[in-house]
Copies of this chain bind each other. A is one copy, B any other.
Amino acid sequence: MSITHEDIALVLSDALQNEQLDEALATLKGLRPVDIADALELVEPELAWGLLTRLPDRAEVYAYFGPDEQVRLAQEFPAEVLAQLVSEMPSDERTDLFKRLAPEQQGRLLPALAKVEREDIRKLASYQEGTAGALMTSDYAMLRADMNVGQALHALRLEAPDAETIYHSYVVGEERKLLGVVSLRDLILADPSTKISDLMTEEVISGEVSEDQEDIARRITRYDLLALPITDGHGCLVGIVTHDDAMDVVSEEATDDFHKSAGVTTSVGNLKDAAIGLLYRKRVFWLVLLVFGNLFSGAGIAHFEDIIAANLVLVFFLPLLVDSGGNAGSQSATLMVRAMATGEVVIKDWLKLLGREATVALLLGCTMAVAVALLGFIRGDSMVALVLALSMVTIVMVGCVIGMSLPFILSKFNLDPASASAPLITSVCDAAGVVIYLYIAAQLLDEVSIV
């Protein structure tokens, strides 16, 4: 868009300060809820709240506010205004908000809601974060198998205002048992007298409430679905996950893995707004762990002190050799972690991939060995060059094998493969690298001094 949210916010502030509500509303005319939310978040809270409640699609706009704004706003509203707003929200976002509210606010809100909404919130809030249940909405379109197309379209017209999507309707029987799915496309193409039971697809792709949200998102992507029906343990329909929620999951999970790859533990939310303390806590763990992990490399160095003293040239290449293992290993780990995240690679592929990884590592190691041997020859002698070449090949291969195996080992123990982060690989490869390097040096360079 040409005009920014800052511009809109300025216009709004002016209008509202002069109590020209209609002007303010006119400014927002034709803007999408997410844009209105972004603009309103920049306006003086007191002014924004008055305007929000007068917007036709206020619930949608409110749903697009950041979590903190939503809660702050919720505290200011009188209970019935909040209840009104909340009852207009999609059931999944309504539940997310409810979970964020302080207990006393929850107590204030619940009585003001209609019984059906109260129970809906209680039910949805009971599902564990990160599962299909916590992601799904209960605002879906339902049909009965014995309806004909005409009746179905009539029913959908009634459900349309509340349902998140009417483009796919779910056909249910006794106790909401999921029997089939029918698309609005098929409905408007079919003859009005056709029975839904003859029109519906009976092989429904669905998910279960307890499933991981990543698996749900992956299924929606794989089958290019608009929404995935979610059933309880008994195959009864309890909600749907829509494609846009799945897309958010895909993006969030990618961000999490991305951060983990650099040893940033768990999500930091929007980086721009992240507090210093939060960023510190998220990052310090691996860094400090690495410091102590170095006890091992240090011990290794101490053990080979004499050979170092006798051949100080070895020190020139210590950082290089140590890093090379870590870098090559991180590459392997990153490739594996992402492939496991997108489902390209599963745990049983490990052995199959190990052989290929070793070959790639050998090639990489040899190439780097040539390069480092060159430097070694310039700075030292042919013997040093040999030590460096041998060490490089070994270290890179060890690094790659560790890097590619670690994600598998982690997920074998039901840990997140993405925890196989660069810092972790680096610490492990450091110790290994130092020992390999100096051990090889000790063997070869000792012999030399004897000759």
CB distance from A379 to the nearest CB of B (A): 7
A369 to B309, CA, bound (A): 27
**Which of A160, A262, A270 is the most central at the interface, judged by chain B CB atoms within 10 Å of its CB?**
A262
Interface residues in A270-306 by Cβ distance below 8 A to B read 270-272, 276, 279-280, 283-284, 286-288, 290-292, 294-295, 297-298, 301-302, 305
CB<8 Å pairs between A and B, sample of 14:
A261-B262, A262-B335, A262-B422, A264-B334, A270-B344, A272-B345, A286-B327, A287-B327, A287-B364, A291-B375, A295-B375, A301-B316, A326-B426, A330-B422
Whether B271 lies near A345 (C-beta < 8 A) is yes
* A42 sits at the interface (CB 8 A): no
Q: Which of B205, B290, B312 contacts A305 (CB 8 A)?
A: B312
Judge if A13 is at the interface, Cβ distance under 8 Å. Answer: no
Cα distance, A205 to B33, chains bound together (Å): 13
Q: Determine which of B255, B264, B360, B422 lies in contact with A280 in the assembled complex, contact meaning CB atoms within 8 Å.
A: B360
Contact A290 B324 (CB under 8 A): yes
Residue A382 at the chain B interface, CB threshold 8 Å? no
Q: Does A334 lie within 8 Å of B258, measured CB to CB?
A: yes
Q: How far is the CA of A291 from the CA of B376 in the complex (A)?
A: 11
CB-based nearest B residue for A295: B375
In the complex, A94 has a CB within 8 A of chain B: no
Segment among A19-27, A117-125, A245-253, A443-451 that sits at the interface with chain B: A245-253
Give chain A interface residues in 353-371, CB to chain B under 8 Å. Answer: 353, 356, 359-360, 363-364, 367-368, 371
Q: Do residues B223 and A32 form an inter-chain contact, with CB atoms below 8 A?
A: yes
Which residues in chain A, 154-188, are within 8 Å of chain B measured between CB atoms?
156-157, 160, 166-167, 184-185, 188
Most B CB atoms within 10 A — which of A31, A32, A247, A292?
A247
Check if A108 is an interface residue, CB within 8 A of chain B: no
A344 pairs with B280, CB closer than 8 A: no
Query: Which residue of chain B has the shortest Cβ distance to A346 in the bound complex?
Result: B272
The DSSP consensus for interface residues of chain A is helix
- Determine if A417 is an interface residue (Cβ-Cβ < 8 Å): no
Return chain B residues, CB-CB under 8 Å to A379.
298, 302
A423 within 8 A of B: yes
* Residue A257 CB within 8 A of the other chain: yes
- B residues less than 8 Å from A334 (CB atoms): 258-259, 261-262, 264
Q: Which residues of B contact A46 (CB under 8 A)?
A: none
Inter-chain contact A430/B323, CB cutoff 8 Å: yes
> Smallest Cβ distance from A28 to chain B, in angstroms?
12
A263 touches B319 (CB 8 A): no
Q: Which of B188, B276, B308 contacts A157 (CB 8 A)?
A: B188
Q: Give the distance to chain B from A254, nearest Cβ to Cβ, in Å.
A: 4
- Judging by beta carbons under 8 Å apart, are A298 and B188 in contact? no
- Residues from chain B with a CB closer than 8 A to the CB of A328 are 283, 287
Count of this chain's copies in the oligomeric assembly: 2
Indicate if the CB atoms of A262 and B333 lie closer than 8 Å. yes
Interface string of A312-323 (1 = CB under 8 A from B): 100111111011
Closest to A222 in B: B34
Indicate if the CB atoms of A335 and B254 lie closer than 8 Å.
no
User: Are the CB atoms of A251 and B254 closer together than 8 Å?
Assistant: yes
- Smallest Cβ distance from A140 to chain B, in angstroms? 14
Taking the complex as formed, is A114 at the interface, i.e. its CB lies under 8 A from any CB of chain B?
no
Given A287-B368, A334-B259, does the pair A272, B349 have CB atoms closer than 8 Å?
A: yes
Query: In the complex, A338 Cα to B251 Cα: how many Å?
Result: 10
Least Cβ distance of A20 to chain B in Å?
Answer: 22
CB pair B294–A263 under 8 Å, yes or no, is: no
A353 touches B272 (CB 8 A): yes
Q: Please indicate the chain B residues that have their CB under 8 angstroms from the CB of A226 in the complex.
A: 167, 226, 243
Question: Which residues of B are found within 8 Å of A288, using beta-carbon distances?
Answer: 367-368, 371
* Cβ contact within 8 Å between A276 and B356: yes
Once A312-B308, A338-B259 are accepted as A-B contacts, the answer to whether A247 and B221 lie under 8 Å apart by CB is yes
State whether A262 touches B330 (Cβ < 8 A): yes
Among the listed B243, B280, B337, which residue makes an inter-chain contact with A364, where contact means beta carbons less than 8 Å apart? B280
Whether A233 sits at the interface, judged by CB under 8 Å, is no
